[in-house]
């Protein structure tokens, strides 16, 4: 019975059930709408920036640039979702902490220093920030893994406290870095026309791809997320794996915090990365990943992140004001989530199969 | 219409695309009888039940209830005309009280007189002899009591036909007895009960009649006295059943060298799950068993050996060398494998593919930083799918969509792939069809003849006698005896399990 069912589903069924299907279709629809409304949307030009560099500009570039933080977060959020069956809602607040940390470290050393030393300071500050962010991730992870607190509740602590901690780190000062070199990481490096965050995102994606290829992270995280008890009896330590995914998310947060503060060379504690946790969770959901944990598809999550940014930029393009944009986004999200629900996808595939079957039987009858 | 028949199903057919699930099946249930519906997995038992309860529409045939033709379109329909079903998994709400569970969905209007309902519920519970009170929270009751509450709910809805679909698979012996008592009470009140189970012993204990299905066809209906157990099995399998008797003939317990160094030896092994410290050893090529009632500590003992639960003390030696086993990975690295009792909870990783499930243990032993290549994993999976004759659409099929027996084979494959010297199988034959049971028992003996040591645990003593050459008997968390050779017979084992004066039982 099962075998005949599977073969009957055929190519279309497989396509509809593929996890990349929904985010890719969403992307295509957005592209189509923009092409129809205003083909100049896709125009990319090489123009001199305010500092006199030649840089690429255009909507596509700004989408790819601005989606960077979200794409990087989606990596960690997908892993946390897979292993723990829950989401980390503190990432926006911990990005504030990470950003504040970096500014503090850079500020501690006197500014306006020579090139080589500057690079060293940036690297050291960044590494320190990675460690601290990883520790905050471990804090969340420990609450989830060892104290068995629901991820959303456990991360509610830092969600609430994070921005205050970020403010404390710099005594609530409005810190800004005057050295223009600090802004390279969130904007452009002179002589390179592509925004730097795009490269940082690419590096992160390559690193995680290598990690997934050369370790068993995927198998372990999925096993733990699907059945922790079985995993333990197969020699996996579920607690450690959950902790590990939260630490990885912590590192992603550090990278995001770095990009964020570099974009403006300053920080506003209450605004930086506001609501990004919801977009990150949305990216995971858009990618067709089960928010209850288990199997995951990282590529789909990352494409989901770009879809969200594409949508935001498109709405801006249609002159939707920033206060109204959430409502529009919500409508689109409802539609996307609705069609990405397995129930609906199976239904679509079945309806299609029935049509096929009835057509076939008609043909059969005619032949008789 | 046959005299005394409440339910008659005639010429029932049900087809799925490409599959004939039921072909002209007749089934008759009489007033006040317990009727076993038997067959291997895929024989059509569940399809027949689902047609009867309106889950599936039937493709041909008719159903009459007390002589009146009925058309059952939905489970709600079935309930309304007095056909109630209690499934293997409890379908009640554990966070509600017993009374709430019994009356949920059956109250009318926005106002409910809970005092009256609680009184009614208590009355019914008393009448049926169910040890629960109306206001108890259901989740706090034992599984057996929950099962009985589900039955009480059905009975209170004036059911004429009660379907029990594998109700005993998560109950221990005493709980089963309580359930049987309830079944007999209902029977004396004229309720017709359809009993679906895998346990042959239970069929012979409580049923009056047996209907056997095979490959979607009716094999026959028999009065229980007319159908000895071996005959029943052969009817279910559709072949003469000397397979089982032959199982042991090719094994040779004599070959085991009991004087050599044991493969595994534990001295005063102390668990933290309520078992007393115990000594245990197993030799190369030996098959032994742990037996005792459910809750006697047989599973807890093997879990302690594997380090599945925290171990509090004791000395463990592998091939004479002292080792420390604190967690499953330690045991795995010392060549011990453990197939857990509860396949669904502790064995399978449901959404993962058959392939991932097969390589899991070996992969974990190999290490986090050394994943198998895809080609290697596929090779392993292919090899074991063929070796154990696992029926799956492909390697990529999620294990949860396989039948119980095939899931169990996948878990077996996982542990065979890990190539252990000592393999612990806790209830490997539970809830799977007879054919696969025999396959697994044969496999155990084959492994032993290849020099592996195996601990085999089963609730069915027949199976243990056929496969094991030595039995460790437990009672109340304590080892109370060890049987081998001529002592390995049903009477002696029962006597040892029960304890006290063994003559009473013989």
Residue B241 confidence (pLDDT) above 50: no
pLDDT, residue A13, reads 65
Please indicate if any CB of chain B lies within 8 Å of the CB of A211. no
Rounded to the nearest 10°, the torsion over CA B82, B88, B93, B97 is 80
Of the ranges A108-122, B199-213, B466-480, which one carries the lowest mean pLDDT score? Answer: A108-122
Q: How far is CA A347 from the centre of its chain?
A: 29
Residue B192 confidence (pLDDT) above 80: yes
pLDDT, residue B402, reads 84
Rg (CA), chain A: 23
| pLDDT tens-digit map of B379-415 | 999 999 999 988 888 899 999 888 788 899 999 999 9
Chain B residue with CA closest to A229: the answer is: B346
pLDDT, residue A110, reads 59
pLDDT, residue A2, reads 38
Nearest CA-CA distance, residue A340 and chain B, Å: 18
Q: Are B288 and B468 in contact (CB under 8 A)?
A: yes
In this complex, do A234 and B414 lie within 8 Å of one another by their Cβ atoms?
A: yes
> Which among B306, B352, B393 has the least Cβ separation from residue A226?
B352
pLDDT, residue A5, reads 40
pLDDT, residue B158, reads 76
Please indicate if any CB of chain B lies within 8 Å of the CB of A296. no
Cα gap B262→B283, rounded to integer Å: 4
Nearest CA-CA distance, residue A236 and chain B, Å: 7
Chain B residue with CA closest to A232: the answer is: B328
In this complex, do B346 and A223 lie within 8 Å of one another by their Cβ atoms?
A: no
Q: Are A20 and A300 in contact (CB under 8 A)?
A: yes
Nearest residue to A31 via CA among A316, A314, A319: A314
- Whether the full predicted model's pTM is greater than 0.95, yes or no, is no
Chain B residue with CA closest to A3: the answer is: B393
Please indicate if any CB of chain B lies within 8 Å of the CB of A231. yes
Nearest residue to B453 via CA among B328, B330, B318: B318
Residue B293 half-sphere exposure, CB side, CA atoms within 13 Å?
16
> Which among A2, A6, A232 has the least Cβ separation from residue B328?
A232
> Which among B340, B356, B365 has the least Cβ separation from residue A233?
B340
Neighbours of B60 (CB within 10 A): 13
In this complex, do B356 and A219 lie within 8 Å of one another by their Cβ atoms?
A: yes
ipTM: 0.85
Token look-up 């904007």 returns A187
Q: Could you tell me the domains of chain A?
A: 2-367 (1.10.3470)
Q: For chain A, which ranges sit under pLDDT 50? A: 1-8, 368
Chain B residue with CA closest to A216: the answer is: B368
Read off the pLDDT band of B252 (50, 70, 90). low
* Best residue in A7, A234, A361 for a mutation probing chain B (most B CBs within 10 Å): A234
pLDDT, residue A280, reads 94
Cα gap A368→A249, rounded to integer Å: 63
pLDDT, residue A8, reads 42
Cα–Cα distances in angstroms (integers) from residue B87 to residues B30, B48, B111, B459, in the given order = 21, 14, 30, 21
| pLDDT tens-digit map of B51-103 | 998 888 888 999 999 889 998 888 888 888 888 888 776 677 888 888 888 88
Residue B505 confidence (pLDDT) above 50: no
Please indicate if any CB of chain B lies within 8 Å of the CB of A361. no
Average pLDDT of every residue of chain B: 85
| pLDDT tens-digit map of B290-321 | 987 766 788 889 999 999 988 888 999 999 99
Could you please report the per-residue DSSP string of B311-338?
Answer: EEEEEEEETTEEE---SHHHHHHTTEEE
Nearest CA-CA distance, residue A26 and chain B, Å: 26
Hey, what are B336's tokens?
Answer: 């011990």
In this complex, do B308 and A233 lie within 8 Å of one another by their Cβ atoms?
A: yes
* Best residue in B305, B364, B406, B412 for a mutation probing chain A (most A CBs within 10 Å): B364
In this complex, do B352 and A222 lie within 8 Å of one another by their Cβ atoms?
A: yes
Cα gap B462→A262, rounded to integer Å: 73
Read off the pLDDT band of B150 (50, 70, 90). confident
pLDDT, residue B342, reads 86
Cα gap B442→B250, rounded to integer Å: 10
- Averaged pLDDT, B173-192: 86
| pLDDT tens-digit map of B104-116 | 777 777 777 888 8
């Amino acid at each position: 019975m099962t075998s005949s069912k599977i073969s009957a589903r055929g190519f279309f069924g497989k396509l509809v059930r593929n996890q990349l299907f929904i985010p890719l279709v969403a992307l295509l629809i957005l592209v189509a709408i923009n092409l129809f409304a205003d083909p100049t949307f896709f125009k990319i030009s090489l123009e001199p920036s305010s500092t006199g560099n030649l840089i690429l500009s255009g909507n596509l570039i700004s989408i790819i640039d601005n989606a960077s933080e979200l794409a990087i977060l989606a990596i960690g959020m997908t892993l946390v979702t897979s292993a723990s069956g829950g989401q980390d809602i503190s990432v926006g607040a911990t990005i504030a902490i990470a950003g504040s940390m970096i500014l503090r470290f850079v500020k501690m050393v006197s500014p306006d220093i020579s090139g080589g030393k500057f690079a060293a300071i940036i690297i050291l500050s960044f590494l320190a920030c990675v460690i601290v962010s990883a520790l905050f991730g471990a804090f969340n992870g420990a609450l989830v893994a060892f104290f068995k607190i629901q991820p959303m509740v456990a991360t509610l602590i830092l969600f609430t406290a994070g921005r205050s901690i970020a403010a404390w780190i710099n005594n609530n000062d409005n810190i800004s870095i005057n050295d223009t070199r600090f802004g390279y990481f969130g904007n452009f490096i002179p002589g390179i026309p592509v925004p730097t965050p795009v490269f940082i995102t690419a590096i992160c994606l390559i690193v995680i791809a290598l990690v997934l290829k050369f370790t068993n992270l995927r198998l372990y995280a999925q096993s733990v997320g699907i059945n922790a008890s079985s995993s333990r009896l197969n020699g996996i330590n579920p607690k450690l794996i959950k902790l590990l995914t939260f630490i990885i998310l912590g590192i992603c947060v550090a990278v995001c915090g770095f990009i964020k503060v570099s974009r403006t060379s300053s920080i506003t504690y209450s605004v930086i990365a506001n609501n990004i946790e919801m977009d990150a969770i949305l990216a995971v959901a858009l990618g067709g990943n089960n928010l209850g944990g288990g199997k995951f598809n990282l590529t789909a999550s990352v494409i989901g992140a770009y879809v969200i940014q594409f949508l935001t930029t498109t709405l801006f393009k249609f002159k939707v004001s920033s206060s109204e944009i959430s409502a529009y986004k919500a409508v689109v999200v409802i539609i996307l989530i609705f069609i990405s629900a397995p129930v609906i996808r199976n239904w679509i595939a079945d309806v299609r199969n029935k049509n096929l079957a009835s057509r076939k039987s008609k043909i059969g009858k005619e032949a008789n | 219409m046959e005299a005394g028949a409440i339910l008659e199903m005639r010429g029932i057919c049900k087809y799925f695309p490409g599959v004939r699930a039921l072909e002209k099946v007749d089934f008759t249930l009489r007033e006040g009888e317990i009727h076993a519906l038997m067959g291997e997995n895929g024989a059509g038992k569940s399809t027949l039940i689902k047609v009867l309860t309106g889950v599936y529409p039937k493709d041909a045939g008719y159903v009459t209830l007390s002589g009146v033709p009925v058309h059952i379109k939905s489970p709600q329909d079935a309930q309304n005309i007095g056909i109630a079903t209690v499934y293997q998994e409890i379908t009640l709400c554990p966070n509600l009280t017993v009374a709430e569970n019994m009356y949920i969905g059956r109250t009318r209007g926005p106002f409910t007189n809970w005092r009256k309902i609680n009184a009614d519920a208590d009355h019914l519970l008393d009448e049926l002899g169910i040890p629960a009170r109306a206001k108890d929270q259901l989740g706090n009751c034992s599984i057996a009591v929950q099962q009985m509450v589900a039955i009480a709910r059905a009975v209170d809805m004036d059911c004429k036909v009660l379907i029990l679909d594998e109700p005993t698979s998560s109950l221990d012996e005493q709980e089963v007895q309580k359930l049987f008592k309830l079944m007999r009470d209902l029977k004396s009140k004229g309720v017709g009960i359809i009993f679906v189970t895998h346990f042959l012993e239970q069929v012979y204990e409580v049923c009056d009649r047996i209907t056997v299905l095979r490959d979607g066809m009716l094999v026959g209906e028999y009065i229980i006295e007319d159908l000895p157990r071996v005959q029943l099995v052969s009817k279910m399998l559709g072949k003469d059943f000397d397979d089982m008797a032959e199982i042991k003939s090719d094994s040779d317990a004599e070959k085991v060298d009991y004087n050599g160094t044991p493969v595994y030896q534990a001295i005063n092994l102390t668990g933290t799950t309520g078992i007393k410290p115990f000594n245990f050893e197993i030799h190369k090529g030996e098959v032994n068993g742990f037996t005792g009632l459910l809750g006697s500590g047989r599973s807890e003992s093997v879990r302690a050996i594997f380090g599945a639960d925290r171990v509090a003390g004791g000395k463990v030696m592998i091939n004479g060398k002292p080792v420390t086993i604190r967690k499953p990975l330690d045991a795995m690295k010392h060549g011990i494998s453990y197939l857990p009792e509860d396949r669904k909870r502790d064995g399978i990783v449901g959404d993962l593919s058959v392939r991932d499930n097969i390589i899991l243990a070996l992969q974990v032993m190999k290490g986090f930083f050394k994943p198998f290549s895809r080609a290697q994993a596929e090779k392993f999976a292919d090899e074991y799918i063929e070796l154990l004759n696992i029926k799956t659409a492909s390697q990529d099929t999620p294990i949860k969509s396989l039948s119980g027996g095939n899931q169990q084979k996948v878990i077996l494959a996982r542990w065979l792939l890990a190539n252990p010297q000592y393999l612990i199988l806790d209830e490997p034959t539970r809830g799977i069809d007879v054919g696969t049971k025999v396959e697994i028992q044969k496999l155990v003996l084959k492994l032993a003849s290849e020099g592996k040591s195996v601990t085999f645990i089963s609730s069915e003593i027949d199976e243990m006698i056929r496969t094991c050459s030595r039995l460790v008997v437990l009672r109340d968390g304590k080892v109370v005896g060890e049987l081998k050779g001529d002592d390995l017979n049903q009477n002696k084992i029962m006597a040892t399990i029960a304890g006290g004066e063994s003559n009473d039982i013989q």
